[in-house]
Amino acid sequence: MNTVFKQSGGLSRWRKREILVQVLEEEANESKSLFLLSHGQQALWFLYKLAPKSWANNSLFTVRIRSDVDTRALRRTFQVLISRHSSLRTTYTERDGKPFQQIHENSRAYFEEIDASAWDWEELKEQVSQASHRPFNLEQGSVMRVSLFTRSPKDHILLLAIHHIAIDFWSLSVLIDELRILYPAEKAGTLVSLSPQALSYADYVRWQHKILTGSMGEHLWAYWRKQLAGELSVLNLPTDRPRPLVQTYCGASCNFKLSEQLTQRLKELVQAERSTLFMLLLASFQVLLHRYTGQEDILVGSPMSGRMQREFAGVVGYFVNPVVLRANLSGNPSFKAFLSQVRQTVLAAIVHQDYPFPLLIERLQPNRDPSCSPLFQVLFALQKPQRSEQVIEVLTANDAHSRLDWGGWN
């Protein structure tokens, strides 16, 4: 505001008053669209400010489509999704050193069409990789990019890149479910009615602040303080190379399948032990880590949905919250006894999942080492099959030969 008045020195008294009223109205309207960040978002904002050119928090979804695509209808569909979900039309800023998110009433979908007809497969993969790794400018937006690479009228790669501050895996499922409904309607030029969003991510932020500053927050903190009391050992896996002094975040993946026979035996054991497949696989994973390291105190992180309140089930945003699942293998327990321990740990973690992991680190103050993550160094997650096939189904409803060649969610 001071800048405005410095530049209005030659204006009349009445004109200055008009400018003052205008500025006050603009600031009032802007303040109505400014909201605090959730604790999870605050952590991601901190990382963004440290490395604004990093793509480490780009959430990616790619799918190959072997059919005609109505690009105009697809563009309109993503515009509807942005208009429907405020997290996709939000930018981030700071006021007096404090981060805020600003929701914009109108925001155009970032939708680009790339002619890939002259590229071979290797060049195409390289171009998709480069598009995936482009950093986001959270202060200017957009937080979502849609890129359609077209090799031929019946061969496309659809890349959806969204900054993690605006989305999680659950949210992606919400978007795909709505994409399945909206795109055919846009293509056919028909009206479709989705249930209105009663709540927004800003409502979740307010709810989180309310519970954490009340008795519920103290109850959650008391549980995790007790659960993570004592020394929290770093997992020392016998790697073939020394750990870098500073994390590089470079990694790789190894894929394998469990046989049908083994899968059936696992399901039978789950039923016999009144457990779940997640608990059984987690227990097996922790035993494996114990055998590799010789450590008896095993801490594993696992992402929880952060949506214990059903009202937030259809809201797109960053709700996911990792919890620490601590296992004690001292005394060489039998696997069934250990599975029972894991079962109790998981059930308790689910009940107490609403305590934000960044706040947990802040209050526990564990020893910080730039070479590894605090509290846990491995993550375990059991996710439903990816939903790329559903996108294919939507975009290629009349093509019986369409198939998914490669895709993923990172």
CATH number for 185: 3.30.559.10
**Shared domain check, 360 and 280:** yes
Is 304 a domain residue?
yes
Taking a C-beta distance cutoff of 8 angstroms, is the pair 360, 236 a contact? no
pLDDT at 28 over 90: no
Least confident of 15-19, 84-88, 374-378: 15-19
The CATH number for 235's domain is: 3.30.559.30
Q: What is the mean predicted confidence (pLDDT) over 187-200?
A: 91
pLDDT score of 4: 45
Q: What is the mean predicted confidence (pLDDT) over 143-158?
A: 97
- Among the candidates 159, 181, 200, a domain finishes at 200
Tell me the angle at which helices 201-212 and 215-227 cross, rounded to the nearest 10 degrees.
70
- State the burial class of residue 282 (Cβ atoms within 10 Å of its Cβ: 0-12, 13-18, 19+): buried
Rg of the chain over CA atoms, in angstroms?
Answer: 25
The strand pairing partners of 150, in sequence order, are: 115, 156
The strand pairing partners of 65, in sequence order, are: 156
Is 390 a domain residue?
no
**Shared domain check, 229 and 276:** yes
pLDDT score of 250: 75
CA angle 322/59/98 to nearest 5° reads 65
* Higher per-residue pLDDT: 401 or 48: 48
Q: What is the mean predicted confidence (pLDDT) over 56-71?
A: 94
Torsions phi, psi for 373 (to 5 deg): -75, 150
pLDDT score of 13: 59
Q: Which domain holds residue 17?
A: 2-32
- Among the candidates 179, 200, 221, a domain finishes at 200
Task: Report the number of distinct structural domains present in the chain.
Answer: 3
* Higher per-residue pLDDT: 55 or 370: 55
Least confident of 13-22, 140-149, 157-166, 170-179: 13-22
pLDDT score of 256: 87
Is 382 a domain residue?
no
**Shared domain check, 292 and 278:** yes
pLDDT score of 131: 97
The pLDDT tens digits for 286-345 are: 999 999 999 999 999 999 999 999 999 999 999 999 999 999 999 999 999 999 999 999
**Shared domain check, 245 and 149:** no
Least confident of 25-39, 269-283, 295-309, 342-356: 25-39
The pLDDT tens digits for 205-263 are: 999 999 999 999 999 999 999 999 999 999 999 988 888 888 877 777 888 899 999 99
DSSP 220-231: HHHHHHHHT-S-
pLDDT at 125 over 80: yes
Is 115 a domain residue?
yes
pLDDT at 191 over 70: yes
- Among the candidates 200, 228, 262, a domain finishes at 200
The residues, ordered by sequence, that sit 6+ positions from 266 with a Cβ below 8 Å of its Cβ are 258, 277, 280, 281
**Shared domain check, 189 and 230:** no
pLDDT score of 246: 86
Q: What is the mean predicted confidence (pLDDT) over 267-295?
A: 96
Cα(237)–Cα(243) distance, integer angstroms: 10
**Shared domain check, 163 and 22:** no
**Shared domain check, 194 and 46:** yes
For residue 372, the one-letter residue type is C
Q: Which two tokens stand for residue 260?
A: 């049908």
Q: Which two tokens stand for residue 15?
A: 């004109």
Total-model pTM:
0.84
**Shared domain check, 241 and 167:** no
Taking a C-beta distance cutoff of 8 angstroms, is the pair 350, 215 a contact? no
Is 383 a domain residue?
no
C-alpha atoms less than 13 angstroms from C-alpha of 387 in its C-beta half-sphere: 18
pLDDT at 21 over 60: no
Is 388 a domain residue?
no
Is 384 a domain residue?
no
Taking a C-beta distance cutoff of 8 angstroms, is the pair 161, 132 a contact? yes
Confidence at 18, pLDDT banded by 50, 70, 90: low
**Shared domain check, 236 and 182:** no
Is 171 a domain residue?
yes
pLDDT, averaged across the chain:
88
**Shared domain check, 235 and 285:** yes
**Shared domain check, 211 and 165:** no
pLDDT score of 249: 74
pLDDT score of 375: 94
**Shared domain check, 18 and 131:** no
